[in-house]
Amino acid sequence: MKTPTETTTRLRRQTRARPKAHPHDHLLRTDRMPHIWCPGCGIGTVFGCLLTAIEKSGLPLDDIAIVSGIGCTGRMAGYLNLDSFHTTHGRAIPFATGLKLARPQGTVLVASGDGDLFAIGGNHFIHAARRNIDLTVICVNNLNYGMTGGQVAPSTPFGARTTTTPVGNIEEPFNFCSLAAECGATYVARWTSLHARWLTDSLVEAMTKKGFSYVEVLAPCPTTFGRRNRLGSGADLARFFHERSVIRNGIDPREAVLDFEKHLVVGKFVDSTRPTFLDNYELVRRREVGEWPFREEHTPHTSGRAHN
Amino acid sequence: MAKATPNVLAVTGNEAVAEAMRQIDPDVVCAYPITPQTEIVQLYAQLVADGKVSTEFVTAESEHSAMSAAIGAAAAGARTMTATSSQGFALMWELLYIASSYRLPIVMTVVNRALSGPINIHCDHSDSIGGRDSGWIQIYGENHQQAYDNCLQAVRIAEHPDVRLPVMHMYDGYVISGAIGPLTPLEDSRVREFIGPYQPVNPLLDVQHPVTVGPFDGLHGWYFEHKVAQNLAMERAYQVLQDVADEFARLTGRQYGLIDPYRLEDAEIAIVVVGSTAGTTRLVVDQLRAKGVKAGMVRVRVFRPFPYHTFAQALQHVKVVGVLDRADSFGAQGGPVFLEIRAALYDNDPRPQVLPFIYGLGGRDIFPHDIEQAFGVLDEAAKRVRRVSTQRRYLNLRQGRGLEHERK
């Protein structure tokens, strides 16, 4: 058996020999590093918050799975030391739905970008929210398709320049938070990547909450979006978002607008409860759903979309 | 008319196609970005923004929507183009059949890339080869010049009254799409002259003659006859493909055919190949010829309609044919091109041996020595009296990684 001194010396030698480990190393696929994200990109911050949130949530790591689609944020699944699935473009939510139904006791996270979740995969998002599948969807909104080089996305502000809208976007963007709430999501929050603590707390709440949770993060993409719109470095862009942000917890998501000239509304907009898909599935399976149309004393299995 | 002064540009394959599209100036372009096709969409968006073309440019929210919008535009009577790759092509799947069965002459550029999974963004031919039965004419280019030339010819072929089928033209992702190569473009006026105005057939916007496109055919309708008509159009396309190529040759001096043979006249062994690997194969053929080996090559230019008569004639005298497939048909006797070639040569007497090779999946490099190795196999087989095994042979395949386990 080694003496304490010997052990200490050995540890010291090891510490000197190897670079200091990142505190989240056990959650990372360090064999996949270095990552592909650009300098100044906001995804790294969101990813860091997600790692912290996973730890804070206290959920057993063996029971967390992460699914992501295609795009810059889609690479998250590949860097996490969890069960992960990197799906095809736009299909993260249906894959995650299957995963959740096959293993209802597990926590299923979906991490993807605005393009993947709301353009090519938009249909899946609205239906998962409507069904209230117990998923946590994290959307890193960088206002364009970053990975393919900065094309127009359903999040690109009206008038903003991208490689496919060189003189300005002619289309109006979605308000994703409002969309999520209207479709029936029971947890909806939006932060910028500089709101690291709020974001982390939201992620913990979303992960530990039953039902469809949506957390959006406004993140800088200096390489494509920022450059095309002359918004400076990643830090400049993050500051631009942060300075214009106003926290309005509990506001009607329809009013939680992203107005880049005036203010970017962030905060927790929805935190409500209604039966999840699996709750109702169980009800139907046990033939306890009653006879439709329901009489008054036997209704509210699908209601409860009130925002609070 | 005097030939234009040679004006050689150094461009990427995608730039070559964007230039062709600028000169064609279609009425509508609907597209969605996907690596490695994205550059075409971006360059075209810039051309639209700069007022260099009069095209209505639609940025769809997925490839499924891009092709749907292209179909809508083409049915309305617009000259319509789009471009895609890989997963985007796969997502267009059901619409590919719609476009061809409604006889809409859409022209699509497909930048060849592997299909998932695992996720891979590099070149192989799995995407477009998988669409071979969708009723589209398929033309494969080898280099930058051919990407440009095929794009121009595709418009004429698609819109030809004997054909009226959508045309996709392909070139290799990255190898051609992203790498820089020489391009001799035509003058704008000559392209306009070659392309000519578009006369749509039964367009929706001809409000004096209302038509319905694509309704339910009824319980005992004419679906079957409709499909036969599509195939008849494919058969007529052989002639049109050649006629358009000949006309293009008169304009440019660059002669294309259904197939592209190289040192085949007296070849005893030959390789059939698609895409940019033809260039490497030519080099190896020359090296082998210098050593006295009677080696030859044919590049597949048109894959649909498949010029089986032309192949049967061209490979008549060859003892052993090796087919290099950059896509596989899992569970089939060999790769997709192999199956076509083998079927095409079945009625030949004497019947050449045809051996399947698979290479370059997911962008795996193909080197001259790999092709030399393939020729070695053919040479060996040619010397034997008995026929050799037609098991797939893989070029530049790594060993290990569970393959031994799978082979058990």
Tokens of B273: 């190949």
Interchain proximity B59–A163, CB inside 8 Å:
no
The percentage of chain B sitting over the pLDDT mark of 70, rounded to a whole number, equals 96
- Is A104 a residue whose pLDDT tops 70? yes
Buried b (16+ CB within 10 A) or exposed e, B60-81: bbbbbbbbbbbbbbbbbbbbbb
Q: Which chain A residues are within 8 Å of B42, Cβ to Cβ?
A: 149, 151, 163-164
User: A179: buried, middle or exposed (CB in 10 Å: 19+, 13-18, 0-12)?
Assistant: buried
> Touching check for B195 and chain A: CB below 8 Å?
no
What pLDDT was estimated at residue A307? 42
Are residues B129 and B225 in contact, defined by beta-carbon separation less than 8 angstroms?
no
Segment A180-200 shows an average pLDDT of 98
Does B292 score more than 50 pLDDT? yes
Q: Which residues of B touch A70 (CB under 8 A)?
A: 87, 119
**pLDDT tens digits, A196-235:** 999 999 999 999 999 999 999 999 999 999 999 999 999 9
CA nearest to A122 within chain B? B61
Put simply, the answer to whether B45 touches A89 (Cβ < 8 Å) is no
Listed in order, strand segments (DSSP E) in B281-358 are 295-300, 302-304, 320-325, 353-358
Residue-range domains of chain B with CATH: 2-252 (3.40.50.970), 259-407 (3.40.50.920)
B184 in contact with A, Cβ within 8 Å: no
pLDDT of residue A305: 47
What is d(CA B111, CA B16) in angstroms, rounded to the nearest whole number? Answer: 12
SS3 of residue A82 by DSSP: coil
- The whole-angstrom separation of Cα A220 and Cα A235 is 8
The C-alpha of A165 sits at a distance from chain B's nearest C-alpha, in angstroms, of 7
Predicted pLDDT at B259:
98
Is residue B100 within 8 Å of B136, Cβ to Cβ?
yes
Average pLDDT, chain A: 92
Determine contact: B41 vs chain A, CB below 8 A: yes
The CATH code of the domain at A23-285 is: 3.40.50.970
| Cβ contact A88–B87 (<8 Å) | yes
Please, which pLDDT band fits residue A6 given cuts at 50, 70 and 90? low
ipTM of the complex: 0.90
Round the CA-based radius of gyration of chain B to a whole number and report it.
21
**Residue A92 in this model has a pLDDT that exceeds 70:** yes
pLDDT at A306: 44
Which residue blocks in B50-164 are alpha helix, DSSP H?
63-76, 86-91, 93-101, 126-130, 144-159
Q: Assess B59–A contact: CB distance below 8 Å, yes or no.
A: yes
pLDDT at B218: 86
- How far apart are alpha carbons B164 and A153 in whole angstroms? 34
Averaged pLDDT, B189-198: 97
Q: How many CB pairs below 8 Å do chains A and B form together?
A: 51
Interface test mutation site (partner B, options A76, A144, A148, A167, max chain B beta carbons within 10 A): A148
Q: Do A164 and B34 touch (CB under 8 A)?
A: no
B46 close contact with A: CB closer than 8 A: yes
Comparing C-alpha atoms, which of B102, B107, B140, B106 is closest to residue B124? Answer: B140
State the pLDDT at residue A22.
Answer: 84
pLDDT bracket for residue B150 (50, 70, 90)? very high
Q: What is the pLDDT of residues B200-233, one digit of tens each?
A: 999 999 999 999 999 998 888 999 999 999 999 9
In this structure, of A238-242, B40-44, B165-169, B396-400, the range with the lowest mean pLDDT score is B396-400
Structure tokens of A29? Answer: 């696929």
What is the arithmetic mean of pLDDT over B28-51? 96
What are A240-292's pLDDT values in tens digits?
A: 999 999 999 999 999 999 999 999 999 999 999 999 999 999 999 999 988 89
Its pTM stands at 0.92
Percent with pLDDT over 70 in chain A: 90
Rounded to a whole number of angstroms, the distance from the CA of A283 to the nearest CA of chain B is 36
In terms of C-beta distances under 8 Å and separation of at least 24 residues, what long-range contacts does A241-247 make, across chains too?
A241/A192, A241/A193, A241/A194, A242/A192, A242/A194, A242/A195, A245/A192, A245/A195, A245/A218, A247/A198
Taking the mean position of all CA atoms in its chain, how far away is CA B360?
17
